[in-house]
Chain A
Amino acid sequence: MTISKLLAPGTRHAIPLVLFLLVGFAAPLLAVIGFSFVPARSFSLWQNWGLGNYIEIFNSTSYLSFLWSLGLAAITVLVLAVICYPIAYGLARVFGKYSTLVTLLFTIPLFVSENVRLYGWVLFFIKNGVLLGTLKSWFGIEPESWLFTNGIIVWGMVYVYLPFMLFPMTLGVSMVPDQTRDAAFDLGATRWQVFKEVELPLSMPGIMIGFLLSFVLAVGAIAEAKVLGGQQIIPISHDIEIAFTYAQNWPLGAALSVLLMLVVGTLVLLVLRRFDLDAILGRR
């Protein structure tokens, strides 16, 4: 009773979740940051701290992995923007009562493990697989398999992260009021002008969140390059995993994770700071 008098109801309801995230999210991140300063190849936190791991990273070729991850993520986001806008527009304005069903259709694959779905693509693209086997038996042509190339990695990433671009984008597009659009048309604007001057700016919050979410997730992607790319490209998450597993060098992996976290964290905070979440998620 004393607690409920001391704290506002909102604060009180937030306590369990905040406590949980302190133990389950903040503490592990602190542990990683701590580990990134201990000497290489040690497994305990209480040692002489130093910058050795970071110096090792800056003298190595890890920056290549960073560049691959950032570049692939950027391409993925651009492709997704083009693919998703018409669907988001449809969900918000055209599909009417069918839009729940369409949303559901795009949601279902999210619940199947990424690896399993990417493996489906392996079966599709592999030599004697669904695509090449069909081409061979119907048309007698045998093109090279597309597996293990850079293009297929982007393909896989576009496939996996599509819903993460689509749903925020749909929220954004549905934020454009009909009256504003109608008014612009009444004042003689062309279709393209309405898109550029009214629809795009007004749906920007949702679109930006979609960009952010799919970019951040794509930067941390690992399964696409492993399963479809045949490990020709090593993205940064894979580098981190190698440091933790095969190389048994936890401090190095921790230092790489800290750098990745810095990139991701800065981006997220920069973008989220600009938006009012209540407006996007539909508070009256």
Chain B
Amino acid sequence: MDGLTPRWRTSLIWSWTAAMVVFMYLPGLCLLLASMTSSRYFIFPINKWGFAWWEKTFASLEIHQLFRTSLLIAFCVTVIAVTIALFGALAFARYDWKGRSIYQKIVLLPIFFPQSVLGLSLLLWFNALGLTMSWQTAVFAHLVWIVPVCTLVISIQVYSFDPALEEAAFDLGATKWQVFKEVTLPVLFPGIFSGALFAFLLSWGNFPLSLYTTGADTTIPEFLYAKMVAGYTPGVPVLGTVSTVGAATLLLCGYAIILLVRRRRAASEHSET
């Protein structure tokens, strides 16, 4: 707490922030409400509550297939993105080298780029190469946007990394690989883990890049969009709610894991000294 900020201002800031949090979650709440009706169309206040559409949605084979496609893409994106981004982040924040300042800006450029245009550019490019669009091309397209985000997330951890730790390990006779495995990776773990979480979730929720690059395969956001435009059923809010709650759970669990690792590490350091 900040002694300079008077109490009335503190409570004003708190209430404003609380109002904005409500603003952020209001659409999610509307989706939840709309999913709990037994009638075909959404009319509020709801007079026939029920979970019929939840059962229907979870039983649908089409939805199972969508889940599999989305999961497959998100999983591949996570693994590849974290691998590239880890080295990218070390170049971004750990080492001083000649081209670094330009490199940092180039890495940021795809993040600042309108995603729908990026998706179309990739479609043109794949087409020029003679590739057929499928979930593999979608993985590549997601990576173009997600690898830079992931690099940035890991970089923030790398900035607080003390290079003296690596040097000490080298002095004690560790090989390059040992230093990487025993020092660099564990110290950077929280950053790598959040990078992986970001990569997975951003790929899972991505629409503009998937739209142009998945071809015959369909992801959940694409399916939802198609249903919103034509053929609304309460299955749309059901899936929307599932993805919102899923993202929230994954993030909160991830955050808890990082806290736990930190606490355990602090405890072991304490017991050694």
Contacts and interface: CB of A to CB of B under 8 A. Distances in A.
B114 A17 contact: no
A213 interface: yes
A111 B201 contact: yes
B24 A130 contact: no
A37 interface: no
Given A29-B121, A111-B202, A120 B31 contact: yes
B24 A109 contact: yes
A83 B121 CA distance: 34
Nearest to A217: B114
A241 B120 contact: yes
B5 interface: yes
Interface-centre pick from B110, B117, B221 (highest chain A CB count, 10 A): B117
Given A35-B124, A104-B251, A119 B228 contact: yes
B41 to A, nearest CB: 9
A90 B14 contact: yes
A94 B201 contact: no
A3 interface: no
Interface string B73-117: 000000000011101101111111111110111111111111111
B84 A17 contact: yes
A212 B112 contact: yes
B230 to A, nearest CB: 13
Contact of B121 (A112, A123, A257, A282): A257
Given A83-B20, A181-B4, A17 B204 contact: no
A93 B144 CA distance: 35
Nearest to A171: B156
Contacts of B101: 277
23 contacts: A10-B90, A10-B91, A10-B94, A10-B97, A17-B84, A17-B107, A18-B103, A20-B84, A31-B128, A43-B127, A87-B17, A93-B2, A102-B17, A107-B251, A110-B205, A113-B220, A113-B225, A121-B30, A123-B30, A213-B112, A261-B117, A281-B93, A282-B156
A45 B114 contact: no
B191 interface: no
Interface of B: 1-2, 4-5, 10, 12-14, 16-17, 20-21, 23-31, 33-34, 42-45, 83-85, 87-88, 90-101, 103-118, 120-125, 127-128, 140, 143-144, 147-148, 151-152, 155-156, 159-160, 201-202, 204-208, 220-221, 224-225, 228, 236-237, 239-240, 243-244, 247-248, 251-252, 255
Interface SS, B side: helix
A27 B143 CA distance: 15
Interface size of A as a range = 35 or more
Contacts of B127: 43
Interface string A169-209: 00000000000011001000000000000000000000000
B45 A105 contact: no
Contacts of B247: 108, 111-112
A86 B42 contact: no
Given A134-B45, A282-B160, A185 B4 contact: yes
A260 interface: yes
Interface of A: 8-18, 20-21, 24-25, 27-29, 31-32, 35, 43, 45, 83, 86-87, 89-90, 93-96, 100, 102, 104-121, 123-124, 126, 128-130, 132-134, 137, 159, 162, 181-182, 185, 212-213, 216-217, 219-223, 227, 237, 240-241, 244, 250, 253-254, 257, 260-261, 264-265, 268-269, 272-273, 277-278, 281-284
Interface-centre pick from A28, A227, A264 (highest chain B CB count, 10 A): A28
Given A24-B140, A105-B21, A130-B33, A9 B124 contact: no
A228 to B, nearest CB: 11
A123 B42 CA distance: 8
